[in-house]
Amino acid sequence: MEQTRARDHVVQGILYMLLGMGLLSIMDAVAKWIVEGGMNPVQILALRSLVIVPVLWGVFRLNGRAHSLKPTRHRWQAFRGITGFLAPFCFFLSLRTLPLSDAVVVFFSATFVSTGLSVLMLKEHVGVHRWTAVIMGYVGVVVAMVPHGGGQLVGYLLVLVSSMAYAFLFVTGRMLSSTESIASLVFSFNLGVGLIALLLLPWFWVDLSWSAAGLVLLLSALAVLGHFSVTAAFSYAPVAAVAPFEYTALIWAVGFDYFVWQQLPVATTWLGATVIIGSGMYLIYRERRSALAR
């Protein structure tokens, strides 16, 4: 009975991860459509937070759980929100010059940054096998970027900054999970991003058409549903079971590039993606072995 229940939980976790990756991939495609139309990511993030923060607050208040949104480690939560602004901002900005699939491939490097940060911030032991996987992963990133893949070099550099910021969010989330609720981490992050974007908004505001406003609203809904689906995936099943399905985002990205923007990744992007995904899967395998050995 226990084995059956555990297996069901893993299946649920995988389904939630697949759903989350689909929703977030559609969000990225909508973001690319918007930024190519001339809207700055600052305005997108400001409007997105104006939707997400009140909705989260309202839902948790109606459920009598508003207290779970309150942070206990205020400085770390604030620093996490401020630094985390770079993750969506740089990624959305890169989509002006990069095919969506190229951006997604390079963004996968966040896995390798997380490994390095876990040593510095969480004092985790990382052996030679995992360090080798990290190095090989970045070889894959270089292959995907040179000779400038399917976009401009500045776009790839923006994605690298985004992946580093995302890795910082992931590792600090693990570090704070002992005292902070998942809801608090999600709420504080979106609040921090929104406050920074609103401060910068006067310099980047453009008047919105009804269609643009509708796309921003759609993007906001996809962000909320996607992030909660991914969170649910990790709550139902072990990281090693669901993390590999993050790579399904590349399938979505290639599909959008082909059907919407009529372009496909160049050979170096495919080769880089193969090396990056292979290295990432090996990292997951080694982490699973390490967890079983404890």
**What is the percent of the chain where pLDDT is above 90?**
22
Comparison of pLDDT for 188 and 41, the residue scoring more: 41
Please report the pLDDT score of residue 89 as a whole number.
Answer: 94
Q: Which residue do the tokens 């008047």 mark? A: 207
How high does pLDDT run on average in the chain?
82
Tell me the longest C-alpha to C-alpha distance in the chain. Answer: 60
Please report the pLDDT score of residue 290 as a whole number.
Answer: 61
Domain definitions of the chain by residue range: 2-293
Neighbours of 124 (CB within 10 A): 15
Of the candidates 136, 143, 134, the residue with the CA atom closest to the CA atom of residue 271: 143
Please report the pLDDT score of residue 128 as a whole number.
Answer: 76
pLDDT at 56 over 60: yes
197 token code pair:
């974007």
Residues 200-224 have a mean pLDDT of 90
- Sequence letter at residue 146: V
Give the pTM.
0.86
